Amino acid sequence: MGTLFQLWLRGDNKGHLQSVAFKAWEEVDRLELLLSRYDSRAEIARVNREAVERPVRIEIELFTILQNCQHWAHRTNGYFNIAYASNVRPIGSEKAAPFTLNEEQRTVHFAHDTVSLDLGGYGKGYALDRIAELLRSFGIASACVHGGGSSVLAMGHQENGDPWTVDIPHAKDPSRIIHRRSLLNQGFSYSATMPDDELVADIVDPHQNQAIQKADACWVLSPSALDAEVWTTALLAMGREQAEEAFSGVLDGASEIGWA
Amino acid sequence: MNRRDFLGHTAAFALTGLALQHPSFSDDPPVKVAVVGTGGRGTDLVRKLSTIERANIVAVCDDYEPHLTRGGEAAGPQARNYLHYEEMLQKEAIDAVIVAVPLYLHYAVCRDAIHAGCDVFCEKTMCYSVAEAQELVKLVQAHNTIFQVGLQRRASAIYRQAKAMVQTGMLGDVFSIKAQWHRNGDWRRPVPVKRDHPDWQRLERKLNWRLYWPYSQGLMTELGSHQIDVANWMLGTSPARVTAFGGTDYWKDGREVFDNVYCIYEYDKQDKEGHSYTARVTYSSIQSNAFEGASELIMGTKGTLLLTERTGLFYKEGGEETVDWQGGEQDEASAAAATITSGKTLSLSNDPWAHRGKPFEIQAGSDSTRDQLISFLDNVQQKDMKTICTVENGLINTASAIMANQAIQEGRTVEFEI
């Protein structure tokens, strides 16, 4: 996923925590080889190479992920779109989808030779949720893990009994902290687009098929780190006005959004 | 033909047609595959197999239920789950068995699968002992079993191209190979119960079998065998002898196997004129520092290959001629850089970065673990015993890896024997 992951674990046996942490890193490495389009060995890279020519059989886990991405595309009116750069109509529109899934054969097939899948707005949140599952399976109740500083998942409490917290910076001045939020067994994601005179944003409006130009930032708290990451990507692509009108601060009863 | 043309031609020869070819057998029924051992590596193999159309995973087996459940989920609903492989071999009609159990069980599972009439893919290292490996060679030969050892670098486009580059002389004469697998971690699997639980001791041994001599040969068979196989493959022979040091110096946690090993292997070679010489391979594997990670450095008189599973880099050695060995047009700055980095005096430089001009880069292109399985299934469908890593390769690899442990334990230079 090309980013730094950090992990804090609490428990009474350091050796056990070390072993669990080691296993968590192995899981991140495994997911990198499933989801990274930048590593030619990865499963998604193979899909991007081959699925335009023929239906490609893929791992059960990746198939489930792609199904979930289709679900998210519909849920966000096409603003979450892993095929955003494909120069065809986004998922959720009336036109043909950029890729089709065949559940019986467990295959993915691209509709056009410009289709390419990018799980960049999905992978970190997915990895954090998998790590949380792994930690729980080894009896760890208190932990905080983040990917790239912008995707966070917290379980339990800090050593002093306080909840884990995240500081939320201003979109145009990241040195200015405008919110501090507690995470109570929650995932958190923060996404920002860059001001025009800085780097090009990595979030794309799939309906316009171009990078978001306006500086803005959005955060989401959710029981799932994956949900939080997908929502921030979609909401930022949607734009503040439209998103606020559509969701009014509460996404689905369990998640909460904010703008920075 | 000038030198540049020569390099261009050899590069073209080396860099084309060496990726594994996977013929399509659309009319052939899929190979009915069973996987025995669905721990971390075994489940990885199940996941890869599940993406290969010509594989039909009919069964998975593991005597540890959490692993069996995970493996079964990765295999799909068509696969039946077994706790005992003997029962699985008896009940299922299986073409090929994938063996990914702990090392000390490799031989027994392979033997029983062969007796059941199955072809076999066995994870590296092939056997716990040389004696077992020798027995397995006899069994495979007697039953005409299609057999492949899971040393997946032999399926990697990078390593196959590297082999061709060595063979065509692009590196000159290879006298030295340096390889290492460095990690910073305890190499432990977490045990899902607390230490005072009555099952802790049993689960500790079961899940952390790599750390105990009765089940594993430690770093040399779990990591080193991959890289010693690369050395054997590139040098085209097996080692003649090894001296090595190692110990359990950092992780004082009850483990038995070494947490660091340092080896020097010697290979007796002959040049084209029949003169004898010795090529040496240094190998280290440590668990207290991850610098350099896992890679192999193939050092020839004309160039160096730095190999990893993701990327291969070819650096030309400095010499009298200042050629554009990468071919193609270069801008002025690049041409100047090429002149400097291949300059004569740099051959004597002590600067560790001096020779590292812009390298020729080889990308992986695909996943070698998956590719090796496809290659094995091709062999099964074609009934071709010449797999990319045969049982005989496995015997040599087993002996090569284990002899370093023997050298450490006995404090002497150990001769290669099979």
- Looking at chain A, the whole-number percentage of residues with pLDDT higher than 70 is 85
Nearest CA in chain A to B207: A19
Contacts with A106 from chain B: Cβ below 8 Å: 50, 76
Class of residue B272 by CB neighbours under 10 A (exposed 0-12, middle 13-18, buried 19+) = exposed
Residue contacts between A and B (CB atoms, under 8 Å):
67
Fold exhibited by the domain B15-154+370-399: Rossmann fold (3.40.50)
Nearest CA in chain B to A33: B367
Average pLDDT of each block of 10 consecutive residues along chain B (418 residues)? 37 48 70 98 98 97 98 98 98 98 98 98 98 98 98 95 94 96 94 92 97 98 98 97 98 97 97 92 97 96 92 78 44 39 46 67 88 97 97 98 98 96
pLDDT the model gives residue B347: 55
CB contact under 8 A, B194 and A26: no
pLDDT band at A56 (very low <50, low <70, confident <90, very high): very high
CA A4 vs CA A151, A152, B155: distances in Å:
11, 12, 30
pLDDT in tens, A144-185: 999 988 899 999 999 999 999 999 888 778 788 888 999 999
pLDDT greater than 80 at residue A27: yes
SS3 B268: strand
pLDDT the model gives residue B360: 80
Residue B186 is nearest to which of A19, A60, A139, comparing CB atoms? A19
Contacts with A61 from chain B: Cβ below 8 Å: 47, 74
Nearest CA in chain A to B309: A41
Class of residue B190 by CB neighbours under 10 A (exposed 0-12, middle 13-18, buried 19+) = buried
Query: Which secondary-structure segment (H or E) carries A5?
Result: strand A5-10
pLDDT in tens, B175-213: 999 999 999 999 999 999 988 999 999 999 999 999 999
SS3 B292: coil
Using a CB–CB cut-off of 8 Å, the residues of A that contact B are 13, 15-16, 18-20, 22-23, 25-26, 30, 33, 39-43, 46, 56-61, 106, 137-139
pLDDT the model gives residue A61: 98
CB contact under 8 A, B50 and A60: yes
What does the alpha-carbon distance between residue B238 and residue B243 come to, in Å, rounded to a whole number? 15
Contact status, residue A183 vs residue A152, Cβ threshold 8 Å? yes
ipTM: 0.87
Token duo for residue B411:
């404090």
Domain ranges of chain B: 6-11+156-363+409-415, 15-154+370-399
- Phi, psi (deg, nearest 5) at residue B224: -60, -30
What does the alpha-carbon distance between residue A105 and residue A60 come to, in Å, rounded to a whole number? 11
pLDDT band at A6 (very low <50, low <70, confident <90, very high): very high
User: Mean pLDDT throughout A94-112?
Assistant: 88
CB contact under 8 A, A26 and B40: yes
Angle between helices A14-35 and A43-50 (to 10 degrees): 0
pLDDT the model gives residue A148: 86
- Looking at chain A, the whole-number percentage of residues with pLDDT higher than 90 is 55
First to last CA, chain A: 25
pLDDT greater than 80 at residue A205: no
What does the alpha-carbon distance between residue B268 and residue B238 come to, in Å, rounded to a whole number? 9
CATH number assigned to the domain with residue range B6-11+156-363+409-415, chosen from the 4 options 1.10.260.40, 2.40.320.10, 3.30.379.10, 3.30.360.10:
3.30.360.10
Which of A60, A66, A136 would best serve as a mutation to test chain B binding (most B beta carbons within 10 A)? A60
Scan residues 227-266 of B and list those with Cβ closer than 8 Å to A.
253
Other CB atoms within a 10 A radius of the CB of residue A51 amount to 22
pLDDT the model gives residue B344: 35
Counting other chains too, the contacts that B270-275 makes at CB distance below 8 Å and 24 or more residues apart are: B271/B173
B61 touches chain A (CB under 8 A): no
Please indicate whether the domains covering B6-11+156-363+409-415 and B15-154+370-399 agree at the CATH topology level: no
Q: How many residues does chain A have?
A: 260
Fold exhibited by the domain A142-259: T-fold (3.10.520)
pLDDT the model gives residue B268: 97
What does the alpha-carbon distance between residue B228 and residue B224 come to, in Å, rounded to a whole number? 6
SS3 A188: strand
Contacts with B367 from chain A: Cβ below 8 Å: 33, 41-43, 46
pLDDT the model gives residue A220: 92
| Radius of gyration from C-alpha coordinates of chain A | 19
CA A239 vs CA A15, A79, A235, B87, B97: distances in Å:
47, 10, 6, 60, 54
Which of B49, B51, B53 would best serve as a mutation to test chain A binding (most A beta carbons within 10 A)? B51
Q: Which residues of A177-196 are buried (b: 16+ CB within 10 A; e: fewer)?
A: eeeebebeebbbbbbbbbee
First to last CA, chain B: 45
pLDDT greater than 60 at residue A88: no
The nearest CA of chain B is from the CA of A46 a distance in Å of 7
pLDDT the model gives residue B322: 41
Residue of A186, A236, A234, A237 lying closest to A208 (CA atoms) = A237
pLDDT greater than 90 at residue A252: no
